[in-house]
Structure 1
Amino acid sequence: MTEIKWWQEAVVYQIYPRSFQDSNGDGIGDIPGIIQRLPYLKKLGIQVIWLSPIYQSPNDDNGYDISDYQKVLPEFGTMADVEEMLQVSHQLGLKIMMDLVVNHTSDEHDWFKASRKTKNNPYRDYYIWRDPVDGHEPNNWLSDFGGSAWTYDQQTEQYYLHIFSKKQPDLNWDNPVLRNEIYDTMTWWLNKGVDGFRMDVINLISKDSDFPDDPNVDAVNHASSMNFVANGQHVHHYLKEMNQQVLSHYDVITVGEAPNVTTADAIKYAGFDSNELQMVFQFEHVEIDNSPEGLGKWSDERFKLVDLKRILSKWQSALDGKAWNSLYWNNHDRPRVVSRFGNDSDEYREKSAKMLAVTLHFMQGTPYIYQGEEIGMTNIALSSIDHYQDIDTRHAYQDLVVDQKRVAPERMMQFIHHSSRDNARTPMQWDNTVNAGFTTGQPWLTVNPNYRHINVNQSLEDEHSIFHFYKKIIALRQQLPIITTGRYEVLDLEDNDVYAYKRVDGESQLLIVSNFSSTEQTRHYQLGQQAELLISNYEDDAGDLLRPYESKVYLENV
């Protein structure tokens, strides 16, 4: 690593617009609502806002099915609202990172509407069409949302590919005309003033043109073929081309969502000399509690700390000096971290939320905070599948409970309470008034009932709150270069209760110690006499005694 770039020192805050702040009482968050809350984010101290999709969309997958990349979904507002948001954000010193969803579009995009009309129209090759094989699908690939990844189209008697919903046809990146359309769209947004892109499943864009069967397909477990199509043979060519034609001309932040990547893959995508992306989101650490029964994320397993330590330590060490890490616990696709890796009971929610913040934010990389994480929002347990909106959750219930009868309804609801994406999507909890101050209307998704005591207003008023703790950590990242540049060294890798590591840089080092258990632990770590307690989630320092979910950081010169 040579000179430090601004995005290496930044902290990113993800907004899920539908659930952040409603300004007009229709129950759906919107861009004017985001503008209203920008001073709050400035107060927190973050530097970049990542905005989940706000584009025109029929909302089959909550905006990740885009029908027009250059229009705004009316329920979110207008392009004038977007321009105002960019202007106000920049005035406050905040940058905006847009979600770029270009592995697929909506089937209601004009490109796809034209593509499906005839086999010889100019847009046919924008998507992936194949003839039936022996009267069936072209191969055995399965969608990540269940069922075949192919849908038959009567009009032209061919199948089109969709790794996700059948309303999300995959784009054909082998077509240079299509690629240039995407690059032109990116340039259009960058010229409008956006400061970068989070790229949705970007490592899926290159498919094997022979379309071989996926040997991992399991007729019983219906494992998705998403990982089989990841990291295709032309993906690096396409991303280098994207960088050369678009990204290299702007001072932007880029992160690629990349399922099924190794550390070696990540160095190819985000290496300091790769000329592709600046970092990737890897999934390893957020899949450690997947089902032992082959049900993927549908599980209520409790993670093992040693697994988490091995994975995060591997990524810290392997990328050091070669590529840049992204640091995240949760996002719009993952359950709330305090319910998953912490303890969301009234007794330990606050302590464990602070412990998780310390553990992640003192590692090397760019941290991402998901909305509500900074006040300790928790998972929600809705009583019936009918109350869930997420397409992935509803499909899984239909598949595992209704169709296959593999999982009893009550047990599946336990899995959903643990793993559903809707856990992250409940409306932001601003205050203790009706609907948590999110809307004056009927919210699109149920507000978590605990908003009466978990909300922003309460957090701002309490100087010992999770919010103020995050604010302090973010400020420390700006003050101490060692958090950006220091080498990572894990301690006691096999300890299943305490996560301890060092950051070492020249003449100083940090010692980070986090008790992931609800019981007291005793650990001794060698410290010099000049060691300074930098931050802790307890009011005093009990030395070698670690209280439940205690986390602390020492700074010392060596």
Structure 2
Amino acid sequence: MKQDWWKEAVVYQVYPQSFCDTNHDGIGDFNGIRSKLDYLKELGVNLIWINPCYQSPMVDNGYDISDYYQVNPMFGTNEDLDALIQEAKEKGIGVLLDLVVNDCSDEHPWFQKAVQDPESEEADYFIFKTTEDGQPPNNWRSNFGGPAWTQVPDGRWYLHTFDKRQPDFNWENPDLREKLYNMVNWWLDKGIAGFRVDAITFIKKDLTFASVPTPDGSLYQIENYQNYPGIGEFLTELRDRTYGKRNAMTVAEAVGVSMDYFPDYAGENGYFSMIFDFNWYDMKGEADKSSKEAVHRWRQKMFDSQEQISSLGCWSGGVLESHDEPRGINKFLEPKDQSRTSAACLGTIYFFLPGTPFIYQGQELGMTNSVWNSIEDFKDVMVHNRYRECVENGGDTEALLQELREYSRDNGRTPIQWDDSEYAGFSDTEPWIPVNPNYPQINAAAQQGDPSSVLSYYKKLVALRRDPKWKEVFSEGKFIPQREAEDYLIAYRRVLEDKTAGIFCNFTGKAQTVRVSEEVEEILLNNCDNLEQEAGTLTMAPYQAVVLSLK
């Protein structure tokens, strides 16, 4: 196997709760994933990343782990997961698991022992502080809202970057680190292909634990401590003691890492194989995402980021959406522009950028944000924490609700829409979270036999990305953005030796003629029925996207 085999991979993200239910409880499971392996093989992907499936009270949808060695019974048994890993491997699909080592669940035996006995070994696995005045040790704010400290009955306070039921580990403790490394190697021994590494930039703390004054006296955002000095020692040790010896793939959620530190994380000898490129991950703040100014700004952010990453010799993971985000079609397109063609155009834009492309479940169908009528409809703990905080502070709850409807993580967590039967073919009983009401119109069964569907187009995207004739162009070729381009046009070249692939995406609801300086040898991919060509120009339909072989 090539040392950097992941550069030619296409990854499909599975959110197991919402993928496929086979035991009739309204929750997806391992056997449900197994039942869809042929679907994934036909799509063409060669890796699947499964969100946390370990034992957990599910406060934060599995990111609060109470036992790293046991799977959550709602998904099946350890043996079911073993069978999934083996069967996927037989079909040419590797399995990535989520690695969550910044924090665990407050139901983990280590934390239970730490709370019961302040003198125990486990008490130093976490970050406890005492204060003379009985107030929190500092003014840090959790990422999920409210203070980042919670008090236990004996008066001590413990730190939590996220929910209060997710206590942070004390990575300064070498015994804790040893136990975590043993766990990582135990899973690698099972034959998984690697890990997606969660919230890893938070593991190093400011050991002064000093408060930080804020202009209005509010709590200081703990997210400002990401990638804190000294974190490199921990990440180097993690890599060298575990996955670095296995040629496993690792992709880190490393929000907060600037370009100055990108090579440390995802360079030739980085801590990880790659980190996600979130620099152009949304169009928040744009009053009209379809305006030429908004498209220009998004294009510039994308090109700036990709050029910098390439110039640094780094590798990234390319994403449009995930379990932590609303649907891509809603993030980047106004309602009037959302269609099969625009969804295919959006997919084309990112799929051939440098980096490994990730597809989130349902993205290949053009799934959209769901409908949320009230706060009670939401399942996400972060949503409810923010709403409670808004109420306590006398904020505008209706304005917050409107924001949550658009940006809540629950939008990406509704069940995948397999067909138009009740509950969208996900289950035969009421799901843990409501199915998007548009499932009769948007579902896999309706798209399977339709050559013009989003699903059919995504199969073509994956096939071209992994085509033996072109895969090295997309994995190793030079990235040349076309910065001087017509309004709404997102265009770039990928060049390797004598091969040039040109990607042209007319990201607008208007037809336009665009200039092409090279000769078009072949149309490799086209999301419309035809392409009007004349010498040096292409006349592109609204949201048309093409990949061309140029010379």
Q: Which moved more, 1:229-238 or 1:126-135?
A: 126-135
> What residue is the counterpart of 1:295 in the other structure?
none
Equivalent of 1:407 in 391, 396, 399: 396
Q: Report matched runs for 1:34-45 at 5 Å.
A: 34-45=33-44
Distance 2:115 2:210 in 1: 24
- Deviations along 1:286-331, one digit per CA (max 9) or x if unpaired, are 3541599xxxxxx999992233222222221122161101100110
Question: Is 1:248 aligned to residue 249 of structure 2?
Answer: no
Deviation of residue 250 (structure 1)? 1.1
> What residue is the counterpart of 1:488 in the other structure?
479
The residue type equivalent to 1:199 in the other structure is V
Question: Is 1:68 aligned to residue 64 of structure 2?
Answer: no
Count the aligned residue pairs: 541
> What residue is the counterpart of 1:341 in the other structure?
332
Question: Is 1:326 aligned to residue 317 of structure 2?
Answer: yes
Deviation of residue 33 (structure 1)? 0.7
Q: Does the aligned pair in 2 maintain the 1:327–1:360 contact within 8 Å?
A: yes
- Deviations along 1:418-463, one digit per CA (max 9) or x if unpaired, are 1000000000100010100001111111101111011111111112
Distance 1:385 1:192, change over 3 A: same
Distance 1:307 1:133 in 2: 51
> What residue is the counterpart of 2:421 in the other structure?
433
The residue type equivalent to 1:204 in the other structure is F
The residue type equivalent to 1:522 in the other structure is T
Equivalent of 1:262 in 247, 258, 265: 258
- Deviations along 1:43-71, one digit per CA (max 9) or x if unpaired, are 10001000000000011101000000001
Equivalent of 2:462 in 464, 469, 474: 474
Question: Is 1:451 aligned to residue 439 of structure 2?
Answer: yes
Kindly report the root-mean-square deviation, in angstroms, between the aligned alpha carbons of the 2 structures: 2.1
Distance 1:493 1:213 in 2: 47
Equivalent of 2:284 in 268, 282, 289: 289
> What residue is the counterpart of 2:187 in the other structure?
189
Q: Report matched runs for 1:197-216 at 5 Å.
A: 197-214=195-212
Q: Report matched runs for 1:54-453 at 5 Å.
A: 54-132=53-131, 134-155=133-154, 157-214=155-212, 219=217, 224-226=221-223, 228-274=224-270, 276-286=271-281, 288-289=283-284, 304-320=294-310, 322-343=313-334, 348-400=338-390, 402-409=391-398, 411-453=399-441
Distance 2:215 2:72 in 1: 36
Distance 1:501 1:218, change over 3 A: farther
Deviation of residue 496 (structure 1)? 5.4
Identical aligned pairs, as a percentage? 37
4+ residue runs of structure 1 moved beyond 4 angstroms? 215-220, 299-303, 493-496
Gaps of 5+ in 2: none
Gaps of 5+ in 1: 293-298
The residue type equivalent to 1:540 in the other structure is N
| TM-score (normalizing by structure 1) | 0.93
Q: Does the aligned pair in 2 maintain the 1:309–1:493 contact within 8 Å?
A: no
Distance 1:397 1:68 in 2: 30
Q: Does the aligned pair in 1 maintain the 2:318–2:358 contact within 8 Å?
A: yes
Q: Does the aligned pair in 1 maintain the 2:13–2:361 contact within 8 Å?
A: yes
The residue type equivalent to 2:273 in the other structure is Q
> What residue is the counterpart of 2:16 in the other structure?
17
The residue type equivalent to 2:179 in the other structure is E
Structure 2 residue matching 1:369: 3-state secondary structure:
strand
Distance 1:475 1:119 in 2: 57
| TM-score (normalizing by structure 2) | 0.94
Equivalent of 1:550 in 539, 544, 547: 544
- Deviations along 1:225-266, one digit per CA (max 9) or x if unpaired, are 21x121122221111111111112212110110111112222
Question: Is 1:503 aligned to residue 494 of structure 2?
Answer: yes
The residue type equivalent to 2:25 in the other structure is D
> What residue is the counterpart of 1:463 in the other structure?
451
Distance 1:300 1:144 in 2: 27
Distance 2:540 2:388 in 1: 45
Q: Does the aligned pair in 2 maintain the 1:260–1:282 contact within 8 Å?
A: no
